[in-house]
Amino acid sequence: MQQAGGGSETEVTWEDQQNINKFGRLNNRLHELEDEIKIAKEANENFEDASNELILTDEEVVRFQIGEVFCHVAKDEVEMRIEKMQETTAKHLEKLTDEKESVLAEMAELKKILYGKFKDSINLEED
Amino acid sequence: MATSSSPPQIASEVVAERRGIPAASFVKDVQAYLNQLGLDVNNTLAFLQERLQQYKVVEMKLLAQQRDLQAKIPDIEKCLDVVATLQAKKDSDEALLTDFEVSEGIYARARIENADSVCLWLGANVMLEYSCEEATTLLQNNLENAKASLEVLVADLQFLRDQVTITQVTIARVYNWDVHQRRVKNTSSSQDS
């Protein structure tokens, strides 16, 4: 922990600069994570809707999009595929949420350190 | 080979530049920095602002590249999916019925039987025929290269953003130092008079 510098001009050490840099990087990563989490949640919702539609339909063959084309696939296989994709997305979402929590914790730590040293001379809030 | 024991985020070595991006020099003491540059406060601030603008330009370029790569990766994954499906159908000896887009809004039905080979678009108006296995290998390679490039790009962006932060902090400190100097000069000159 740094000793607070006296006088109206607080000393900025290399370690302080690195802390500030790290905070900036974590903040950027936080925004990226929030966007990715939103996309993953939307994908999950789409899968939910799709599997609900599947249950309601009485057709045996479903046009399932693979790449840019719609393949005729048996309903059971489509159910399996959607389930697999849901699992992958759910795991991905969990990983993202965990990373977001650790990023937030690190940022809170850095805020404590930086506010402790610089008090009012620094602003770490979202504008 | 000497190994660096420091964690990747807080590097103890200072890099002079990275892939053409000059590093912002960290200022320990503002007075010493001004003496070293040999410029007065306003010119120093102008110089630092210009540096900041240059960094922003490079950042825009890197962000655009990152967006392109991030769009390319799902495309390659989709292609891998298609090839895998074709291979699976070939093994099961069934014909694959698909509806594909002939033109915008118009779809036609196709029956694909025994897909031994696929054609891959390589870019520059070139399309080559590959066997399913070769196509999978090629697409996997492309996917890995794209992911590796994206990693390097992300690291570049992080380095760049660090330099932007350092420059912004330096600008603030030079400005504050100047304000402090003026205040000291004013109080000392008002004491004299």
Question: What average pLDDT does the segment A80-104 reach?
Answer: 96
Query: What residues in chain B have per-residue pLDDT under 50?
Result: 1-12
How confident is the model at residue B28, as a pLDDT? 86
Task: Please give, rounded to a whole number of angstroms, the shortest distance from the CA of A19 to a CA of chain B.
Answer: 8
Q: Which two tokens stand for residue A124?
A: 């770490």
- How close does chain A come to B157, measured CA to CA in Å? 10
pLDDT bucket at A96, cuts 50 / 70 / 90:
very high
Contact B78 A67 (CB under 8 A): yes
Is the CB of residue A66 less than 8 Å away from at least one CB of chain B?
Answer: yes
B176 has a chain A CB within 8 A of its CB: yes
Calculate the average pLDDT of chain A. 88
Q: Is the ipTM of this complex over 0.85?
A: no
Which residues of A are less than 8 Å from B101 in CB distance? 68-69
Residue A27 CA, chain-centre distance (Å), reads 12
**Tokens linked to B187:** 């109080």
In the beta sheet, which residues pair with residue B97?
B111
Burial of B26 (0-12, 13-18, 19+ CB in 10 A): middle
Model pLDDT, residue A49: 95
Contacts of B100 in chain A (CB under 8 A): 68-70
β-strand partners of A88: none
CB contact under 8 A, A71 and B98: yes
pLDDT at A127: 67
pLDDT bin (cut points 50, 70, 90) of residue A4 is very low
Could you say which of B99, B110, B173 has the minimum Cβ distance to residue A12?
Answer: B173
Residue B65: the pLDDT is 95
DSSP of B92-152, one letter per residue? HT-PEEEEEEEETTEEEEEEE-S--EEEEEEETTEEEEEEHHHHHHHHHHHHHHHHHHHHH
Q: Give the per-residue pLDDT at A120.
A: 84
Q: Which tens digits make up the pLDDT trace of A43-60?
A: 999 999 999 999 998 888
Q: Which residue of A has its CA nearest to B24?
A: A17
Please judge whether B96 and A72 are an interchain contact, meaning their C-beta atoms are less than 8 angstroms apart: yes
Contacts made by residues A112-116, CB under 8 angstroms, sequence distance 24+: A113/A1, A113/A2, A113/A19, A114/A16, A114/A19, A114/A20, A114/A23, A116/A1, A116/A2, A116/A4
Which residue from A26, A27, A47, A28 is spatially nearest to A92, judged by alpha carbons? A47
Q: Are strands B96-103 and B21-22 parallel, antiparallel or unpaired?
A: unpaired
- Taking the Cβ of residue A58 and every Cβ of chain B, the question of whether any pair is shorter than 8 Å is answered with no
Smallest Cα distance from B28 to chain A, Å: 7
What pTM, to 2 d.p., does this model score?
Answer: 0.81
State the pLDDT at residue B88. 84
Measured CA to CA, the distance from residue B96 to residue B111 in angstroms comes to: 6
CA angle A33-A37-A42, nearest 5°? 155
pLDDT value for B8: 44
Q: Checking DSSP bridges between strand B21-22 and strand B17-18, what pairing results, if any?
A: antiparallel
Please report, as a single letter, which amino acid is at residue B33.
Y
Amino acid occupying residue B3: T
- Taking the CA of residue B70 and the nearest CA in chain A, the distance in Å comes to 12
A and B: number of Cβ contacts within 8 A: 62
User: Which residues in chain A have Cβ-Cβ distances shorter than 8 Å to B98?
Assistant: 66, 69-72
- Residue B15 is given by DSSP the state P
Distance from CA of B159 to the nearest CA of A (A): 9
